[in-house]
Amino acid sequence: MSSSNVKLQHLRKSFFDIHHQKENVAVEDFSLDIQGGELVTLLGPSGCGKTTVLRMLAGFESPTSGHIILNDKDITQLPPNKRNSAMVFQSYALFPHMNVEENIMYGLKLRGFSKEEQSQKLSGFLDIVNLRGYEKRKPHELSGGQQQRVALARALIVKPAILLFDEPLSNLDAKLRESMRNEIRNIQKSLKITAVYVTHDQAEAMAISDRVVVMNKGKIEQIGSSQDVYLRPSTRFVADFMGAANFLTQANGKTLVVRPENIKLHSLQDSLTGEVRQASIKEYHFLGSVHEYHLHLQTGEKIVARLPVSMDEKPHFVGENIQVSFDQKNLHQLSG
């Protein structure tokens, strides 16, 4: 399966609200170059425009302005069936009256492949998605994870230039979500297929992506690797959205961000150097793998620290006055 390059150039999508007689902008000036074989995740809260971008890529929505380029060809105005793309939906969208093999081969049938060609292609993809032996089962006889595998195989078997995922795991329980996201990533990498994946789940985005595009109110806030957007967020929104974050104000008015796991607690008697502040413990929670402390700094700022649990360690107590230290390399200054 060959890898395809995709360019989204200054995409804008607006809808006219007849009731209020005004234009609502869903996506504004969205530009992104996706390399062949790359998996890019569009991440953000509900209503941020990520699904609208995906639907424009698929051809289900037409951009108000801007261009979509697939392998140097402008496909902006092409209908979905002319784009050589395939989508895996949140709801699986399987045909209930068809069995597994009929669902998977449906796209091949539409494209005019003979029954012999369909069967030959089916065999390989049953192994790829681990569904060998389930060919004759109907969707209602499958688990959620198995249904999602059928949907994935149906999308892959037509050899799309780009594979689109619309929150494909949100209907699965947490444990199955984790195993399925790993399966999807492994299959995507082994086939070297270009993919765009939409989710609102930060952990899912960080685990599965080559790059993450964090969106807010129709615009791109930051594009980068999982490590970039988590450890080096460009804006307060990104820092806050990507997980628990503490914000510290410097004397010059600039804001520093530090993650709870990068804070260390010390007794008042310890002699420390570097970035150190005094604090009091207001809340304590045992979360199994970590101790979580809610702290009030003497400067008035409130922060959260998460320390790994050790069997021989006695936790600090609520009301205790302590010192808080920050490793300089874990303090990141926000640019926006």
d(CA 260, CA 307): 8
| pLDDT of 116 | 86
User: Beta strand pairing status for 65-70 and 6-17?
Assistant: antiparallel
3-class secondary structure for the chain?
CCCCCEEEEEEEEEEEECCCCEEEEEEEEEEEEECCCCEEEEECCCCCCHHHHHHHHHCCCCCCEEEEEECCEECCCCCHHHCCEEEECCCCCCCCCCCHHHHHHHHHHHCCCCHHHHHHHHHHHHHHCCCCCCCCCCHHHCCHHHHHHHHHHHHHCCCCCEEEEECCCCCCCHHHHHHHHHHHHHHHHHHCCEEEEEECCHHHHHHHCCEEEEEECCEEEEEECHHHHHHCCCCHHHHHHCCCCEEEECCCCCEEEECHHHEEEECCCCCCCCEEEEEEEEEEEECCCEEEEEEEECCCCEEEEEEECCCCCCCCCCCCEEEEEECHHHCEECCC
d(CA 209, CA 30): 19
Q: What is the pLDDT of residues 160-184, one digit of tens each?
A: 999 999 999 888 888 888 888 999 9
Paired with 245 in beta bridges are none
Going along the chain from its start, the domains and CATH numbers come out as: 6-237 (3.40.50.300), 247-333 (2.40.50.140)
Residues 6+ apart with CB under 8 A from 248: 255, 256, 257, 258, 301, 303, 331
For the record, the structure tokens of 9 come out as 């150039």
Give the residues of the chain that fall short of pLDDT 70: 1-2, 336
| pLDDT of 170 | 86
Amino acid at position 247, single letter = F
| pLDDT of 313 | 77
User: Beta strand pairing status for 219-224 and 263-266?
Assistant: unpaired
- State the CB neighbour count (10 A cutoff) for residue 266: 14
d(CA 195, CA 292): 37
- Residue 263's Cβ-count burial label (10 Å; 0-12, 13-18, 19+) is buried
Single pTM value for the model: 0.90
| pLDDT of 1 | 52
| pLDDT of 336 | 63
Amino acid at position 98, single letter = M
243 closest CA partner among 223, 210, 214, 279: 214
Q: What is the pLDDT of residues 272-301, one digit of tens each?
A: 887 889 999 999 999 999 999 999 999 899
| pLDDT of 246 | 95
43 and 213 in contact (C-beta within 8 Å)?
yes
Instruction: Please report, in angstroms and rounded to a whole number, the separation of the first and last CA atoms in the chain.
Output: 41
